[in-house]
Amino acid sequence: MSGPPGFVDPLLAWKTQFGREIERVAATDIYMGKIGELPVTPFVEKAQIEALASEFAVREGDVWLVTALKSGTTLTQEILKFLLGQTASDNPLQAVPWLEVSARVPMIGLPISVANSIPSTNGHRFWKSHWLPRDHLAPNGGKSKFIYVARNGLDVCVSFFHHIRGFPLYEYAGDLNDFFEKFMDDGRTLDFGSWWEHVGAWWRRRNDADVLFLFFEDLVREPRANIAKIAAFVGIELDAARLDLIVHETSFEQMKKRPLFYDLVRLPDATPFLRKGVAGEGKAVLSADQVRRFEDKCKAFFVGDLSDFPWQRAASN
Ligand code: A3P
């Protein structure tokens, strides 16, 4: 169905074996898991979440990269990979593991006991998370830091639509208009719930000393300054040559040249995981009415803070 001949999609293999066990979001045309009231990617499993909360041994120097889906997670994983001293050919998904994935999923799932045994590199370990801040899974204990990356929700919506259509795991056949309604419906059916709540909750934490709040748009437009900001926050010194190298290697063009695991498990006719990498697409492809509804919801939700969002700055220029 996908990947090179003979390749077994580990996500579908997992789903056939264990997917029936997950608690699913009520009747919907999208295959989505559920933990408590939160819709989650189908391979995020309750047992793993519980193990993460109770068994994960937080260490000084741990940094969590937290995002709502489609906001520049993989790009930031690439940046962090280089900060660990790794090279272009290293796998960003292994450099910054996503511990919320069921340990039973081949290739990307990691038992917490194994995560605990991963050595720090120069005093650092990096982890990826899509969880909400109010009850972040990582026991913090004042030891971890958090990098949050946010992106214009309209662009997230369009990118998310292509993401979900391309992974057979979700079994989704709707169109962009249908998906937009799911996105607007406070994400009651989409991975990790409401985009507004996710961004809003971390935005309220943006001035805390343990949080670096970044925007995808800034990362793409001013990579040098923002990569330097990440390095300084994490506590890694970079000389100019290393910074230049990271800027070059994490550009969309360079990243496109390297194989990414996700593309092996997407449908043959799907858009690639690194699809366009631009800012402002949502406004161009969604209708004027959809854009207005999105913006009205932002005004109601992000009270008073809107002008601080870069896509909002661009709109009011
Ligand atoms: P598009 O679908 O709009 O192209 P995530 O990793 O959080 O799932 O986000 C994926 C989005 O980030 C995709 O957006 C992808 O193309 C974009 N992206 C990844 N690396 C990028 C880079 N180096 N420069 C610009 N965009 C990048």
Residue 216 to residue 222: CA distance in whole angstroms: 10
Q: By alpha-carbon position, which residue is closest to atom 25 of ligand 1?
A: 277
Residue 100 to residue 170: CA distance in whole angstroms: 17
Is residue 194 in contact with ligand 1, taking CB distance under 6 Å?
no
Q: What percent of the chain has pLDDT over 90?
A: 70
Ligand 1 centre to CA of 172 (Å) is 21
Is residue 121 in contact with ligand 1, taking CB distance under 6 Å?
no
Has residue 36 got a pLDDT over 90?
Answer: no
Question: To test ligand 1's pocket by mutation, which of 74, 163, 176, 179 has the most ligand atoms within 8 angstroms of CB?
Answer: 74
Q: What percent of the chain has pLDDT over 70?
A: 92
Is residue 73 in contact with ligand 1, taking CB distance under 6 Å?
yes
Closest to 99 in 3D by CA, of 114, 121, 80: 114
Q: State residue 128 phi and psi, 5-degree precision.
A: -100, 145
Is residue 290 in contact with ligand 1, taking CB distance under 6 Å?
no
Exposure string for 120-129, b = 16+ CB within 10 A, e = fewer: eeeebbbbbb
Report pLDDT digits (tens) over 145-198: 999 999 999 999 999 999 999 999 999 999 999 999 999 998 788 999 999 999
162 in active site: no
Report pLDDT digits (tens) over 73-128: 999 999 999 999 999 999 999 999 999 999 999 888 999 999 999 999 999 999 99
Q: By alpha-carbon position, which residue is closest to atom 23 of ligand 1?
A: 252
The identity of residue 307, as a single letter, is: S
